[in-house]
Structure 1
């Protein structure tokens, strides 16, 4: 079986080499970049299965890199930083990151997060209905393609996964607890904003309001409801 390719973007050489060795030992093909601008070039050329992206980088920081990658790259991005600032975590999700991990890096946690992201990215869609249609909105799980009124909408992999999870349960409330467990593989602690940020990005891309006429409705204290009526 072909090894999955992970690009690690980290300018601390000792940490980068440690992650390289650890992930290689666990069956991945790993490449390294120590600058943000170089990381963008490598992702364009190599299309890795996942990017581990530090925030503090020379030339372009991790936020700039994440924003640039989301213009053409839909596979998972795992942000990594020494900062404990909640604002950095929220900004990472707003820019399209799939997950966020703090330094000092715990090896088993890093590996678990990577495997969870890859597992969700490579979900066997043949076990599910491959396409959901709501009037002019078409959501296809095989190609991870979303179109509205015949126009393709560029959603990142994590945004698509949230939309698909809600659309599959159209007409029913899906709790944040279930969404965080399903899409991030962790227990919801009552403070995780990642799902809220992704829903906000989806609404903007699908020209959906957040008010009374919203098709993706916020049900306060419970979660989100995807309207089953045609778009």
Structure 2
């Protein structure tokens, strides 16, 4: 069993799901992994629960009564950054991009295995607690400026508002300009995943960066990965 040991406090996970059978199954599996679990079944209840219990991670369904998971994610991230795993019944790329844009870190499409879900939650928490490798306080590459200390990004003088994961991915690419980084390596280094099952997560975050910073900034090497391209 993977969970808290000794006197370390259990990590708290908020599960937001209006289908009771799914919610209880997810909660039971996460508790078996050593987590404390709280449940919410609608949008307003999820925001109130996040404010009250201050979870270490949130498992969040997109389709909810009250208001949807995208709005829940937007509101809880505005109050306090927290890793979010979104659950969606549709493998719709637009929904996924919107979810990532409002602050979700990862997603799973229903139906999913409980083993996969718990692996993703563990990976999110490992990444959130990891001490980042030291980077220069300021990265300047052509017209791209990344203030690592302040977590702010400008291109051609205009500020781009990135999600926490988009920022971490951009810094990782910018620290190795023109170097092609495989998706699997990005998953391991940025997300903390030990396997390559989430390459679409990388692709979706790259699309978010291109949308905010320009399509010319990141080069795709088909079948391999991505490289940050800057003017010489």
Q: TM-score range by the shorter chain?
A: 0.7 to 0.9
Pick closer, same or farther for the CA change 1:129–1:64 going to 2, 3 Å: same
Matched, 1:138 2:165: no
Aligned residue runs from structure 1 range 12-161, under 5 A: 12-125=19-132, 128-135=133-140, 137-140=146-149, 145-148=150-153, 155-161=162-168
SS in 1 for 2:148: strand
Q: CA RMSD in A?
A: 3.2
Pick closer, same or farther for the CA change 1:148–1:87 going to 2, 3 Å: closer
Question: Is contact 1:50–1:75 with CA below 8 Å preserved after alignment?
Answer: yes
If the length of structure 1 is used for normalisation, what is the TM-score?
0.76
In the alignment, structure 2 segments of 5+ residues that lack a partner are: 1-7
Q: How far apart are 1:8 and its partner, in Å?
A: 0.4
Equivalent in 208, 223, 226 of residue 224 of structure 1: 226
In the alignment, structure 1 segments of 5+ residues that lack a partner are: none
Q: How far apart are 1:35 and its partner, in Å?
A: 0.7
Look up the match of 1:10.
17
Pick closer, same or farther for the CA change 1:170–1:85 going to 2, 3 Å: closer
Aligned length: 216
Pick closer, same or farther for the CA change 1:85–1:219 going to 2, 3 Å: closer
SS in 2 for 1:114: helix
Q: How far apart are 1:227 and its partner, in Å?
A: 5.5
If the length of structure 2 is used for normalisation, what is the TM-score?
0.75
What is the distance in 1 between the residues matched to 2:182 and 2:63? Answer: 34
Which has the larger displacement, 23-32 or 180-189? 180-189
